[in-house]
Structure 1
Amino acid sequence: MKIKFTCIFSLIILFFSCHEQTNEHIQKFENTLGERKTEALNLMVFDFEKNLEKIYPNLTLQKAYEQYLKDIIDPKESNWDKFRFLSDKTLAEFKNSGLKKEIYNIELEYVEEKKDSLTTYYSNGIGKYMRALYEIKDHDTLIMDYFKRREIGGLMPNKIFVKGILHSKPDFHNYFHKRIVVIEFTY
């Protein structure tokens, strides 16, 4: 009886210590990113998951994220509207909060052949998003791998990102894994 009680007590302590550690990492990430930018990112995740429910109503959250990733790189896919997930309000907050500028360097480049200017996105390697990831990267191998790839290579083509993240076996109940995917598919 005493051994059973000790095992249960140890499991409870372990559970709460892991929960505390996760909350500590979330807090560190959010403090680095900033309150308004964190709220904008939370809205983006909300819109993304609402869209997942709409397009994959019979799948669990984990399976819906995975299917979205597979579908977005499927060469047979033709319904590109289903991948648009930001509401007008959330898109405005993404821009107005400054989060977009923390994630991307946006440049207007003139293309001589087209006699027109094109907006080009580059990874903002010194923005608050990358700094926030840097603060918490050591506690999760998926975050560490993503951070290194983004730091070295900047923005990744969808196919490379999807194959890399699915290879890392993401947990889409994880606060960070969700946000990484949402950021990668928001411009």
Structure 2
Amino acid sequence: MKILKTFIFLALIISCAEKKTEENILEFDKVLGKENVVTLDFIVSDFENDFLKRQYPNLNTENAYRQFLTDLRDDKTKNWKRISEKAIEKFESSELRLQMYEFPDSVWILKNSSFDKIESDSVSFLNIPYPYIKSRFKYISVR
């Protein structure tokens, strides 16, 4: 009986987790917008079916992703083939680019971290002994 209760409890957790994931995907799609979802789906599909298949022809998609991330981590990217021109053009002509990249509102150079003002969105203490660039971003909703 105890095993049955445990099994039912785990089944409920798993089914709720899957439902939450589905809700998160729907919310993500809603925020991103239909046109951007179509663009993103195209780019992912193109990446999997073009780049990963050419780069790792003997691996299935999951293992190709795993190998891709391992190669990226180990900086073995010198002999990689390019992403398809079609995917690049689709991305550059889409609104998705504007959703993904943020553009700085202001930029300045600090001599070191002792000159940095700690702000609500900053790391509380950053010890950087050399000059670095700090920037602020303004997010503008396109809707």
TM-score bucket (shorter structure) = 0.5 to 0.7
Structure 1 residue runs of 4 or more that deviate by more than 4 Å after TM superposition:
72-77
CA contact (8 A) 1:40 1:93 kept: yes
What is the distance in 2 between the residues matched to 1:75 and 1:4?
47
Relative distance call for 1:67 and 1:29 in structure 2 (3 A) is same
What SS does structure 1 have at the residue aligned with 2:6?
Answer: helix
What SS does structure 1 have at the residue aligned with 2:59?
Answer: coil
TM-score in terms of structure 1 length: 0.46
Residue correspondence of structure 1 range 170-181 to structure 2 within 5 A: none
Unaligned runs of 5+ in 1: 105-122, 126-151, 155-187
Unaligned runs of 5+ in 2: 105-133, 137-143
Relative distance call for 1:6 and 1:58 in structure 2 (3 A) is same
**Partner residue, 1:49:** 48
Count of residues in correspondence between the two structures: 107
What is the distance in 2 between the residues matched to 1:44 and 1:3?
48
What is the distance in 1 between the residues matched to 2:21 and 2:59?
26
**Partner residue, 1:32:** 31
**Partner residue, 2:126:** none
What is the distance in 2 between the residues matched to 1:44 and 1:153?
30
CA contact (8 A) 1:102 1:124 kept: no
Listed one character per residue, the Cα deviations across residues 133-158 of structure 1 (whole Å, up to 9, x for unaligned) are: xxxxxxxxxxxxxxxxxxx889xxxx
Shift of 1:39: 1.3
Cα RMSD, aligned residues only: 3.2
What is the distance in 2 between the residues matched to 1:59 and 1:49?
11
- Are 2:29 and 1:13 equivalent residues in the alignment? no
CA contact (8 A) 1:94 1:100 kept: yes
What SS does structure 1 have at the residue aligned with 2:8?
Answer: helix
**Structure of larger gyration radius:** 2
Listed one character per residue, the Cα deviations across residues 3-32 of structure 1 (whole Å, up to 9, x for unaligned) are: 332222222111110001111111111111
CA contact (8 A) 1:95 1:101 kept: no
Higher helix share: 1
Relative distance call for 1:77 and 1:20 in structure 2 (3 A) is closer
Relative distance call for 1:3 and 1:74 in structure 2 (3 A) is closer
Relative distance call for 1:99 and 1:76 in structure 2 (3 A) is closer
- Are 2:90 and 1:93 equivalent residues in the alignment? yes
CA contact (8 A) 1:40 1:97 kept: yes
Shift of 1:60: 4.6
Relative distance call for 1:77 and 1:15 in structure 2 (3 A) is closer
